[in-house]
């Protein structure tokens, strides 16, 4: 009797040991990611924090590194992201609603679905080419914010559509059934039940999309965002530049001082990203609280 119980105990210890090893491995994997992130942040902060100042944010770029500021790029980015949102959000949510609620379960719908997913994986420079050909040249919008944000909207549309679809799909069918049983039309069900419930998920999708839009340089370069912009945009037809391009510009210069400026620019970019995410998270939290309480 004692022999088998000892054998059992040693087997149990082995199983526990395996579990512990696996846990340590996962922990280290997490640590690696965190450490890399920390290293990056620390490097950037060390490099650029000194350069950061009100003047920096409020001045235009200049040939002289000490005077260079990020004002144009900052405002350009804000305009660009804003206009992208204006185009991409309604179209994206609308497409998601159609695909989830109205589209018949046909093979055509499935093909559509697959293609949207594929579009999310297309390299951003292809969108840049597309934007250049259609918006800038064909529609003669020129190298304006309008063309740039339309291009960016195309880029981020698949993200919004897919995330919104997931959120809509996650709405319990019992809510829909309950609403239908009371005599609601499909539109009423969507507007009054599905959308409010799916809103947190949709907002997440929008955050992801706009964060991507903020950070993309290649398509904007193709569109023809400027490298040296001594003004802030005052309308959708103006020319513009964005933060990633400005940062890239400064990094490419040989002078050390410009590298500091670039680092400071990265900090600004991160700050804007953080700000956007925080607003979205607050909004999402508020909607979720309303649903749950």
Of the listed pieces 5-13, 118-126, 178-186, 219-227, which binds another protein according to CB under 8 A? 178-186
Of 103 and 129, CB closest to another protein: 103
In eight-state DSSP terms, residue 49 is G
Cβ at position 288, least distance to another protein in Å: 10
Neighbours of 224 (CB within 10 A): 18
Of 271 and 291, CB closest to another protein: 291
As a whole number of Å, the end-to-end CA separation of the chain is: 57
Residue position matching structure tokens 């109205």: 102
Residues 65-124 that bind another protein (CB under 8 A): 104-105
Of 197 and 241, CB closest to another protein: 197
Burial of 69 per CB tally in 10 Å (0-12, 13-18, 19+): buried
Distance, in Å, from the CA atom of 214 to the CA atom of 152, rounded to the nearest integer, reads 9
Residues 244-273 that bind another protein (CB under 8 A): none
With contact defined as beta carbons under 8 Å apart, do 81 and 250 qualify? no
Of the listed pieces 109-117, 135-143, 184-192, 218-226, which binds another protein according to CB under 8 A? 184-192
- Rule CB under 8 A: say whether 188 interacts with another protein: yes
Among 149, 193, 241, 246, binds another protein (CB under 8 A): 193
The CB-based long-range contact list for 48-57 (8 Å cut-off, 24+ gap) reads 48/260, 48/261, 48/262, 48/263, 48/264, 48/265, 48/266, 48/267, 49/264, 49/267, 50/260, 51/260, 51/261, 51/263, 51/264, 52/264, 52/267, 52/268, 56/261, 56/264, 57/268
Of 183 and 254, CB closest to another protein: 183
Total residues binding another protein (CB under 8 A): 21
- Rule CB under 8 A: say whether 197 interacts with another protein: yes
Among 185, 237, 252, 278, binds another protein (CB under 8 A): 185
- Rule CB under 8 A: say whether 291 interacts with another protein: yes
Residue position matching structure tokens 């965002």: 225
Among 94, 123, 178, 230, binds another protein (CB under 8 A): 178
Of the listed pieces 172-180, 199-207, 233-241, 277-285, which binds another protein according to CB under 8 A? 172-180
Q: Report CA-CA distances (Å) from 180 to 194, 195, 199, 248.
A: 12, 15, 20, 54
Residues engaged in binding another protein (CB under 8 A): 104-105, 172, 174-175, 177-185, 188, 192-193, 197, 291-293
């Amino acid at each position: 009797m004692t022999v088998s119980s000892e054998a059992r105990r040693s087997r149990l210890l082995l199983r526990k040991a395996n579990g512990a090893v696996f846990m340590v491995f996962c922990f280290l994997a997490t640590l690696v990611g965190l450490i890399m992130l920390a290293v990056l942040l620390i490097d950037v902060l060390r490099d650029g924090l000194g350069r950061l100042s009100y003047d920096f944010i409020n001045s235009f770029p200049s040939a002289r590194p000490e005077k260079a500021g990020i004002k144009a790029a900052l405002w350009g980015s804000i305009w660009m992201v804003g206009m992208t949102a204006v185009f991409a959000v309604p179209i994206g949510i609308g497409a998601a609603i159609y695909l989830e609620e109205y589209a018949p379960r046909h093979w055509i719908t499935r093909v559509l679905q697959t293609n949207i997913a594929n579009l999310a994986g297309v390299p951003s420079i292809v969108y840049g080419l597309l934007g250049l050909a259609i918006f800038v040249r064909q529609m003669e919008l020129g190298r304006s914010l309008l063309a740039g944000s339309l291009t960016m909207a195309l880029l981020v549309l698949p993200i919004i559509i897919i995330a919104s679809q997931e959120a809509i799909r996650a709405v319990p069918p019992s809510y829909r059934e309950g609403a239908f049983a009371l005599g609601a039309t499909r539109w009423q069900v969507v507007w009054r039940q599905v959308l409010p419930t799916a809103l947190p998920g949709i907002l997440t999708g929008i955050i992801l999309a706009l964060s991507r839009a903020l950070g993309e340089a290649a398509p904007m370069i193709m569109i023809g965002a400027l490298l040296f912009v001594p003004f802030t945009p005052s309308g959708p037809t103006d020319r513009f530049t964005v933060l990633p391009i400005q940062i890239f510009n400064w990094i490419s210069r040989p002078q050390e001082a410009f590298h500091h400026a670039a680092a400071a620019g990265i900090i600004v970019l991160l700050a804007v990203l953080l700000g956007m995410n925080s607003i979205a998270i607050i909004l999402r939290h508020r909607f979720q609280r309303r649903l749950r309480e």
